[in-house]
């Protein structure tokens, strides 16, 4: 399967069938599929393109032009470009990077097929349609946003930055709830990049929006997904295999980046039951409290679900007797004070997971994709 504009075929038709339909509506500018196709065709031919510093419409033109030309394209954060010692591999299409939420971004290469081959199943899970306008909520160098935009244009949908016109959205959980509330026509919400907290899930589902959560990584792409209300747990995609080794998730997938063939681990603690997956979070974010392993993401999910907490980060602090204890850094929404939040936490959390130290900040440090940059708090 190749990457083309609206080129899935079958019921989806082709780009010619939707020539006058909007493909990109961005900053008040509209490109139809005919405009976009012409721009892709006219894009200069280069062995390696660089879309990193381009505005979104031009960046997506560049990406689809590279696919049509059989070239590679860099889509990286201009401020923190990963080191690339050599030119791209012969099969490389996308030159991207990890998010950097646990350190410096790592360079990755992937083929077009490693994304496009997952698009039909992803479309079925999300129920995103060619008639949808898909809101992009972050920069394209964050691969979840690039994936969302490329999938939308492959499908024949519209990519937009206007919540008032959007019917579908991809976002990290920290921004998803507020974003959906600004979308009067919201039909589908896709959460990725971090675990979805219960409060956000309940709010969005109560609005009658189809809420999809997926787990993946820049290295592995899609691994598992679930539709809230239909499935209690994430389910592995059809062609993805997984197992755990010493509690860590290891995956074998046709959607992996180049160089990650075979079984690949990305450092996440997880549990498997058949093809159902429960992800606890990064192993390097595990906090050893007197011999008990507390996973930072589990603490963060509990804290974020408390009334009055907008966002939370959990880190380990050295302790002379226990080795480590949990410290919480939180953003408040102004509806409740810290004492009440701490009391709520004490009533539901184990003594090992309960934060011993609390710090309130106006804004937690985040990566450009919206994930909490936990290393910046250490």
Query: What's the average model confidence in pLDDT over 76-97?
Result: 88
Residues 223 and 340 placed together within one structural domain of the fold: no
Q: In the block, which residue shows the tokens 């539709």?
A: 227
Residues 74 and 150 placed together within one structural domain of the fold: yes
Per the document, the length of the chain is 378
Domain boundary pick from 219, 240, 261:
240
Cα 33 from Cα 54, distance rounded (Å): 19
Residues 178 and 295 placed together within one structural domain of the fold: no
pLDDT tops 60 at residue 89: yes
pLDDT digits (tens, 9 = 90+) for 167-194: 999 998 878 888 999 999 999 999 987 7
Q: What pLDDT was estimated at residue 14?
A: 60
- The two beta strands, 188-191 and 241-245, are unpaired
User: In DSSP terms, which residues pair with 188 in a beta bridge?
Assistant: 168, 210
Looking at the 3D structure of the chain, how many domains does it have? 2
Structure tokens at 22: 């909007």
pLDDT digits (tens, 9 = 90+) for 6-53: 854 335 556 667 789 999 999 999 999 999 999 999 999 999 999 999
Q: What is the CATH number for 357?
A: 3.30.300.30
Backbone angles phi, psi at 178, to 5 degrees: -65, -35
112 within some domain:
yes
Is the CB of residue 269 less than 8 Å from the CB of residue 291?
no
Instruction: Give, as one character, the DSSP assignment of residue 112.
Output: S
Domain boundary pick from 214, 240, 266:
240
Query: By residue range, what is the domain housing residue 333?
Result: 290-377
């Amino acid at each position: 399967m190749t990457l083309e504009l609206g080129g899935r075929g079958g019921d989806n038709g082709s780009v010619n069938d939707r020539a006058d339909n909007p493909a990109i509506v961005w900053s008040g500018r509209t490109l139809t599929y005919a405009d976009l196709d012409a721009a892709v065709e006219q894009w200069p031919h280069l062995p390696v393109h660089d879309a990193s510093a381009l505005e979104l419409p031009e960046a997506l033109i560049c990406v689809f032009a590279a696919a049509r030309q059989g070239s590679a394209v860099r889509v990286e954060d201009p401020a923190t470009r990963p080191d690339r010692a050599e030119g791209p591999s012969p099969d490389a299409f996308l030159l991207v990077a990890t998010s950097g939420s646990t350190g410096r971004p790592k360079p990755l290469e992937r083929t077009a097929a490693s994304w496009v081959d997952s698009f039909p199943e992803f479309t079925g899970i999300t129920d995103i349609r060619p008639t949808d306008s898909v809101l992009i909520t972050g920069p394209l160098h964050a691969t979840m946003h690039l994936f969302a935009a490329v999938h939308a244009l492959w499908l024949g949908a519209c990519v937009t930055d206007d919540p008032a016109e959007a019917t579908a959205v991809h976002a990290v959980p920290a921004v998803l709830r507020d974003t959906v509330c600004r979308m009067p026509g919201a039909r589908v919400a896709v959460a990725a990049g971090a675990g979805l907290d219960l409060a956000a899930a309940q709010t969005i589902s109560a609005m009658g929006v189809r809420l999809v959560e997926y787990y993946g990584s820049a290295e592995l792409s899609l691994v598992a997904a679930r539709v809230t209300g239909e499935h209690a747990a994430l389910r592995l995609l059809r062609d993805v295999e997984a197992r755990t080794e010493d509690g860590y998730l290891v995956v074998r997938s046709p959607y992996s980046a180049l160089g990650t063939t075979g079984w690949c681990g990305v450092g996440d603690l997880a549990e498997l039951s058949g093809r159902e997956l429960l992800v606890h979070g990064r192993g390097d974010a595990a906090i050893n409290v007197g011999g008990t392993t507390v996973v930072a993401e589990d603490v963060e999910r509990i804290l974020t679900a408390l009334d009055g907490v907008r966002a939370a980060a959990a880190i380990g602090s050295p302790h002379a007797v226990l080795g480590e204890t949990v410290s919480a850094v939180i953003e408040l929404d102004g509806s409740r004070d810290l004492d009440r939040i701490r009391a709520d936490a004490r009533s539901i959390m184990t003594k090992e997971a309960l934060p011993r130290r609390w710090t309130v900040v106006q804004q937690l440090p985040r990566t450009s994709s919206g994930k909490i940059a936990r290393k910046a708090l250490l």
